[in-house]
C-alpha cells in the first residue's frame, strides 16, 4: 500500500508543476475532471461495497457510511456541473440537499469522535495474546 502512495505522490508532482506553469490551460480543467471522475468511481464503489457489509451495527460504521456517501454525492454533483454546465435545472435544490447531507453526516462523524470513548457499542481492544 505504501508503494501506491509513492506512485500517487510522484504523479502529483508533474501535475502541480503543470498547474503552476499553465494556470489557465484547458488541459488542466480536463485533468481535474478526469481526477474527479476517478474520485467518484472510488467513492461510489466504496459506498456500494460497504452497503453489503454490516455497517449499521456500530455507531462508527454508520458515521463512516454517512460521511463517504455524502462525499460521493458531492463528487457526483461536481461531475454533473462539469458535464452539464453551471445552469442545469434543479441544480440549486440538489446543491441544498447535498450540502445539507454533508453537514449532517460530518456533524454526526464529529459527534461520534467526541463521544466514542464513552460508548458501549464499540468493542474494547483485545489484550496482548487475545483474539477478537
pLDDT of residue 17: 76
Cα 119–chain centre separation: 25
Mean pLDDT, to the nearest integer, of 83-90?
90
Any idea which residue has 462523524 for its cell?
A: 109
User: What span, in angstroms and rounded, lies between the C-alpha atoms of 81 and 87?
Assistant: 8
pLDDT at 108 over 70: yes
Query: Could you state, in order of their start, the residue ranges of all structural domains in the chain?
Result: 33-117
* pLDDT (tens digit per residue) in 1-48: 678 778 877 877 777 777 777 777 787 788 889 989 999 999 999 999
For residue 114, how many other CB atoms are within 10 A of its CB? 9
Q: Please give the model's pTM, rounded to 2 decimal places.
A: 0.72
User: What span, in angstroms and rounded, lies between the C-alpha atoms of 70 and 82?
Assistant: 18
pLDDT of residue 73: 96
pLDDT of residue 25: 76
Q: Of 63 and 120, which is predicted with more confidence?
A: 63
- Are residues 15 and 31 in contact, defined by beta-carbon separation less than 8 angstroms? yes
pLDDT band at 121 (very low <50, low <70, confident <90, very high): low
Output the CA–CA distances (angstroms, integers) from residue 72 to 68, 87, 88, 110, 125, in the order listed.
6, 21, 19, 19, 31
Q: In terms of residues, how long is the chain?
A: 132
pLDDT of residue 11: 78
Amino acid at each position: 500500500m505504501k508503494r501506491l502512495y509513492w506512485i500517487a505522490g510522484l504523479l502529483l508532482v508533474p501535475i502541480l508543476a503543470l498547474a503552476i506553469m499553465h494556470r489557465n490551460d484547458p488541459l488542466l480543467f480536463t485533468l481535474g475532471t478526469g481526477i474527479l471522475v476517478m474520485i467518484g468511481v472510488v467513492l461510489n464503489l466504496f459506498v456500494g461495497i460497504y452497503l453489503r457489509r454490516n455497517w449499521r451495527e456500530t455507531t462508527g460504521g454508520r458515521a463512516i457510511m454517512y460521511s463517504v456517501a455524502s462525499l460521493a454525492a458531492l463528487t457526483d454533483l461536481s461531475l454533473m456541473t462539469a458535464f452539464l454546465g453551471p445552469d442545469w435545472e434543479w441544480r440549486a435544490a440538489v446543491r441544498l440537499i447535498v450540502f445539507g447531507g454533508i453537514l449532517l453526516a460530518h456533524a454526526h462523524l464529529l459527534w461520534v469522535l467526541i463521544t466514542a470513548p464513552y460508548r458501549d457499542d464499540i468493542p474494547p481492544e483485545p489484550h496482548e495474546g487475545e483474539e477478537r
